[in-house]
Structure 1
């Protein structure tokens, strides 16, 4: 897909519809499925309406925390789908693949923490520091998104 011509809706649909190979290892499958579900739910949150029909590369009309997490989770999912061999056990990855896998695990933990507000106010502070217009205007993530974030693999 071309990020300059594909809308965020099309971009989301492409990533969440990627089929996980039958021979994918359990960890790869768990991380991919978890991110696909969360990414799709974030994309269809009411706070994403102003952004979905814009092209992927167009600056977002609403740079709110749902958009930020949609972007973060989507980039994590893209890395997972395009930089790691699904069938290979992470313990058998080469050095570069292990680095990528560690990045996926770390980003997953960060996404969970930010969405569930495990670090109270951190996501709001991050949004406000880069987008002052969003100060005090933070949409609620909703129970479904929080539940999907909590269900991501790697939770303690």
Structure 2
């Protein structure tokens, strides 16, 4: 008897599933949630102390320095800093590294990681942004536009004055 009741229950479920799948599509429509509006990523960083080092008019390279504070809850990865091609031919993130002989030398860095609540300080005695192939002499007090790019697609722009250090 239990077997017959189980079989009848199973056939009943099968019949209702079959009937539902054969119903016209218009009867099967279910309301879909509205698409969430696109949101712009919010930058959680504060930049301070930005400047570009003044160099002699014949110099082909200079450097940019600043402190970047990660004020957000997520790790930031600085992947590049760009400058107008009217100012320099290229810009690179640079760091210092010791070789096997213990000599300190500059090396290009792919990125800099800044953990939440931490600072990244680019300074004359450490990591910096190298501006190479200068297109013209830079004047003290002139403002240079720097655009910092991050791995999450966000960017931060700053006007850095040219100054002696």
Please tell me the TM-score bracket, short chain as reference: under 0.3
- Higher radius of gyration, 1 or 2: 2
Task: Tell me which protein shows more helix as a share of its residues.
Answer: 1
Greater share of strand residues, 1 or 2?
2
